Chain A
């Protein structure tokens, strides 16, 4: 493979996968700087062993597998940490358009509550939850990504949803949650 082809492939890979991979990592790791480092490390690993990259449907779980592994390494402090902070701010992005301020604040509040609730989950439940409901992987793909049986993934997802349903802050945003149902009945 020529150098030009390599670079083209890498750029394509980054264009397609960097943003979702970073956001997935940021949901898994509370420190955005560490998330950025982890994703950078993941893409360096992917590029370094690009000959081993599967093609077709196998690519997506493979990429998330490397990203999750890099996040685990980052959480264990095995990878270098540049100490940088991710540039930009959610508020800046949200207020850049014509969205009314109340709506922006509500969205931010909701997003913060969701991220806090996710990070309160044990990591074994957090990873499949984010891969399933944010990254959109199927249970089988998650099983490949985290090297567990599909049945294990299913039970972990169920447990994660059960724990999230007990979160009072999060429950107010989910109409189907028990808390909201109770409130509805009370009214």
Chain B
């Protein structure tokens, strides 16, 4: 068998030969996007910057659209109507997909964010529970998470797990993760439950009652800006798709047709991605996550024994050890005796069958 040292060396070499990707930045970026803030904190400045950045993009897009419209008006018709506008942009020069793409993507953005900066309404997403309705009713979109550390009796670990699951289901939630060791030296573990956001505090209170609270932490991540941005982007892309469909009807050449169709496919794909994000976000807003770590209380060190107590304890220990050794040794002897008895029986049985034959031959 391969020795442990050789195996360690081979695995180390194989593992170290694997190039590590630059994933640290990606994770930091992802966590930055989901940066939790204090429950009572105001809306994060990040979302404001995002909205401002988005508005600047919208204004820039509006300027581009205005420029395109001006060019179209000057080159085609003195009185631009929507039909004339499309005619100016599309039929003759649709062989230049860049132009139509730029138009298709930028115009709806401007439409989604009008001059007064109002955020278009978020398209409806599947409502998962009554909590979702409650959450949607408020203007702020919050993703709440909590962490609770409980100490429970060793015998009560299983019961606590069951009760936590009952709390989740009783409030219309569910258990997402359960890693609890009910036996062995390291008993305890973690249960993560998702409950409707409206019942988050009630769930915490109910869970607190199951043991001695060692730690309680909650975070609230304000995603109002993110939800608004998603809605705006979806509105913009939907408008872009409508525009592209109109262009498709007017495409006069096969390359133009293919170009517009490609754009529609790409836009549709983006819409579906954003809708998926919106559904995930709605689910996270509707359901709060509570991670409950449960563990039995730490054992207190027993004071060292002395005097008669120590002597008695030593005597008992030695007696038990001696008895264990005796039983272990006796077991070997008994096993040997058992084997000998089985052999003897087999020999007797064989002898009874063989002896008459031998005697007949001898006689």
With A22-B20, A52-B149, A144-B186 given, is the CB distance from A40 to B30 under 8 Å? yes
* Minimum CB distance partner of B1 in chain A: A165
CB < 8 Å neighbour of B14 from A3, A43, A115: A115
Contact B1 A162 (CB under 8 A): yes
Residues in B neighbouring A32, C-beta threshold 8 A: 18, 21
Q: Which A113-145 residues have a C-beta within 8 angstroms of B?
A: 114-115, 118, 129-130, 133-134, 136, 143-144
What separation, in Å, do the CA atoms of A139 and B189 have in the docked complex? 19
Interface size class of A (residues with CB under 8 A): 35 or more
What separation, in Å, do the CA atoms of A156 and B11 have in the docked complex? 17
Check: A27 CB closer than 8 A to any chain B CB.
yes
Residues in A neighbouring B14, C-beta threshold 8 A: 27, 110-112, 114-115, 118, 134
Contact A24 B15 (CB under 8 A): yes
Interface size class of B (residues with CB under 8 A): 35 or more
What separation, in Å, do the CA atoms of A24 and B12 have in the docked complex? 10
Once A and B bind, how many residue pairs between them come within 8 Å at the CB atom? 145
What separation, in Å, do the CA atoms of A170 and B20 have in the docked complex? 24
What separation, in Å, do the CA atoms of A176 and B4 have in the docked complex? 10
Check: A87 CB closer than 8 A to any chain B CB.
yes
CB < 8 Å neighbour of B2 from A40, A149, A164: A164
Contact B2 A161 (CB under 8 A): yes
With A10-B31, A11-B28, A44-B27 given, is the CB distance from A147 to B18 under 8 Å? no
Check: A89 CB closer than 8 A to any chain B CB.
yes
CB < 8 Å neighbour of A133 from B7, B22, B179: B7
Check: B6 CB closer than 8 A to any chain A CB.
yes
Residues in A neighbouring B99, C-beta threshold 8 A: none
Residues in A neighbouring B249, C-beta threshold 8 A: none
Q: Which B190-226 residues have a C-beta within 8 angstroms of A?
A: 190, 192, 215, 217
Residues in A neighbouring B145, C-beta threshold 8 A: 48-49
With A88-B21, A93-B19 given, is the CB distance from A174 to B31 under 8 Å? no
Question: Does more than half of chain B's interface fall in helix, strand or loop, or is it mixed?
Answer: mixed
Contact B1 A87 (CB under 8 A): no
Contact A177 B2 (CB under 8 A): yes
- Best-surrounded residue of A32, A44, A134, A136 (most CB of chain B within 10 A): A134
Contact A118 B21 (CB under 8 A): no
Check: A19 CB closer than 8 A to any chain B CB.
yes
Residues in A neighbouring B35, C-beta threshold 8 A: 3, 6
Contact A19 B11 (CB under 8 A): no
User: Distance in Å from the Cβ of B277 to the closest Cβ of chain A?
Assistant: 11
User: Distance in Å from the Cβ of B27 to the closest Cβ of chain A?
Assistant: 5
User: Distance in Å from the Cβ of A110 to the closest Cβ of chain B?
Assistant: 6
With A51-B217, A149-B184 given, is the CB distance from A175 to B6 under 8 Å? yes
Interface residues of A (CB under 8 A from B): 3, 6-7, 10-11, 14-15, 18-19, 22-24, 26-27, 32, 36, 39-40, 43-44, 47-49, 51-52, 65, 86-90, 92-94, 107-108, 110-112, 114-115, 118, 129-130, 133-134, 136, 143-144, 147, 149, 161-162, 164-165, 170-171, 173-178
Can you list 25 A-B pairs, Cβ within 8 angstroms, ordered by A?
A14-B24, A18-B27, A26-B15, A27-B11, A27-B18, A36-B23, A40-B30, A44-B27, A47-B31, A51-B215, A90-B18, A90-B19, A92-B19, A107-B13, A107-B17, A110-B10, A111-B14, A112-B14, A114-B13, A133-B12, A144-B186, A149-B184, A161-B4, A165-B2, A174-B3
Q: Nearest 3 CB-CB pairs, A to B?
A: A88-B19, A114-B14, A51-B147
